[in-house]
Structure 1
Amino acid sequence: MARNEVKLEKMGDFFDVRSSTYDEYMLSHVSDSKFFYKDMAQLIPKSSSINLLDLGCGTGLELEEILKINKSISVTGIDLSSAMLYKLKEKFSEKLYKISLIKKSYFDISYEEQFDVAISVETMHHFEYTEKLVLYKKIIKSLRNKGLYIETDYISNTESEQIKLLKRKQQLVKLKGTNVHFHIDIPFTIDNQLSLLNEAGFKNVYLYKKYRNLYSRKVVFILKNLIFIGGTMGVGKTTVGQYLVEKKLKNAVFLDGDWCWYLNPFIVNEENKVMVRRNICFLLNSFIANSTIENIVFVWVMHQQQIVDDLLKGLNGSFNFYSFSMISSKEALSKRFLIDVKDGVRDLKNLENALDRIDLYKDLNSVKIDVTNLTVEQTAKEIETYINPIDKINTF
């Protein structure tokens, strides 16, 4: 072999040769790997009867954490390497009844709405834009309504780095004169990867978290939830929203719209309305852009659809949006309101206005939750049923 010649190995052959040392290498030499395997497992819905597609499953490193958390999940794993799949079978010998393995290129597999979740770990960085575009469209077709795709992979830090790696790969493959997939790294930048996923047809694509390793950073693509809870004064939306953030939702943040125009004297005019909406959008956009936040709970009166629409127009990025309106009988609302008045939280002169607004919520594009006979815990549980993790990606 010439001194400067690069040895190209076919994808399956590359991993066959390294199957015995693969786990040790990933866990010991790729920094943060232990974290991103655990994080990915936490993102998988905990619901029963979940069907998961693992693209490039290898020895099943990611499955160790997933099967530990979700005992009832069913897995279909696809990989080119016989040796890697053999290691997986050895590792999960007692759980093979819930794992179906296919030795094949995942480019050659076609499924129709069979899976709730699809995942890929450290595998997509070997392929070019057009190849990945075709594959991603197949993944979308493989997912059921409201399915979820999670990808963890290397990235290029700059556009020039991506272009350089791609040109090198194309030159090497050209010398071989074949279309076989070789093991060559050509990671994309974050922006290009997000653009590609959006072009393929995924909805609410989001960069979930960044990690560091010996080569570059890693990313997990997942959307976050933006949850609007509206309701008239005194209906209990603030208490419910705070309970969700403090007790129920993972990596969550809470915002009350009234905090954004806490004025004395409190003056409602056009200037202040514009100001409060600008303030709200600024904070919500900050939360959306923050990689550590998964769930954003925003509460405000929001008695008109136009208010909700105006706020959404001012938001950037991708997210899964949920809109709820808490409604109540006038008798129950009056009782709650008077308790707040007694506690010095509200002014009695606002009760009539609060009662008049109850009927306005029927015209909103929101999920109506009648809290007349519900506790805070029961109301939060009702909201949770709509924002179950399996709904983290909208219908394609």
Structure 2
Amino acid sequence: MEAHDTTKEIAEEDSKADSRRTDGDDSVRDENTALELHTYLKNWTPDERNHALSFVYSLVEEKQRVLDVGCGIGLLGKYLTKQKSCSVVGIDYDPKSIELAKPFISDAFVVDLRNTDLKEAVKGETFDAVLFADVIEHFAEPKKLLEGALQCLSADGSVIISVPNIAHSSVRLALFEGRFDYTDEGLLDRTHLHFFTLKSLLQLLESVGLVATEILRVYRHAHHTEIPVQETPMMTRSLIETAEQEPEGLTYQFVVRAERIESNRVRNLINLRYSALEREVARLTDENRYLKVGYLEPELRETFYQQVEALHQELSSCREEIAASREIERVLREEIKHVPVEELQAKNALLEREIARVESKTLYGILKKLYRKLTR
């Protein structure tokens, strides 16, 4: 499923993103706490469009048992618990965040996954969904992290991941100017240890036995990110528009649901795609057959006309033979008046054979020959 977008909608969401950089939301944190929220958490609710957390939230099904890795203050878990009746366990390395998260979710633990195995951290429990909302890019070994997630995942469970897109147009344009400046948050967050394109993310998933079953996208224009992009004599409007039109040039974040290749959902997707491919093959086969006939039609038509002309000539020759045979018959009838009966009978038999031979070359015989030739 692809996230719906229009230029107007992206612009509206860009404007909201700008306002969130300065506006706080005391309803999601303790007033006595100096905890600074990550930009994308400010003012977030599940109905917000074009937002990574909203997409992660949408991919979790009702009443699932959820492990939220890097849960922060438990804002996502709070809505999953309240609105989807999920049982949410959160883990995070920051004790202050965990204390704030505990009232909102089923359980929360302080865990530093740089030193602790994920399965060990959750004491061998299994979950229907394991969430990594802007998390794996902060780890030196994201593959090891995903391998741990698989050990905590139920048979048909999902791993749901959001990551920034390093191929966003703002990064490309900054590189064009020779810039790769780290920021406090966003695409070039200074704490990121890995950068992902869609291709490299899918390759990482496949390397641990996971297959993407759904991909959603958060869109931002080049001039609405934390990376400055301004028109200059070198950075022309045309260049900016070209960068945005590149594959994934407007994609700010990817949100991916992935499952084991042997899961029921993956099997169903494979079957659906196989059926769609079969239909496409059948369509292309019919189209190819039509094109072949169309290509050969002039040649076939010319061959047909040549065969018809040859048959007309053969028919004319047969008519001449029939006329000659009738003349022979007339002469014979004159002669038989003076021929004995036995001799007459013998000649009559000879005549009938001759007539049969000639009649075989009449119109009926010719059409039969034509039919045989055309149906070979």
Which bracket does the TM-score occupy, shorter chain normalised?
0.3 to 0.5
Between Structure 1 and Structure 2, which shows a larger proportion of strand residues? 1
Taking structure 1 as the reference length, the TM-score comes to 0.42
Between Structure 1 and Structure 2, which shows a larger proportion of helix residues? 2
Q: Which has the higher contact order (CA 8 A, sep 6+)?
A: 1
Larger radius of gyration: 2
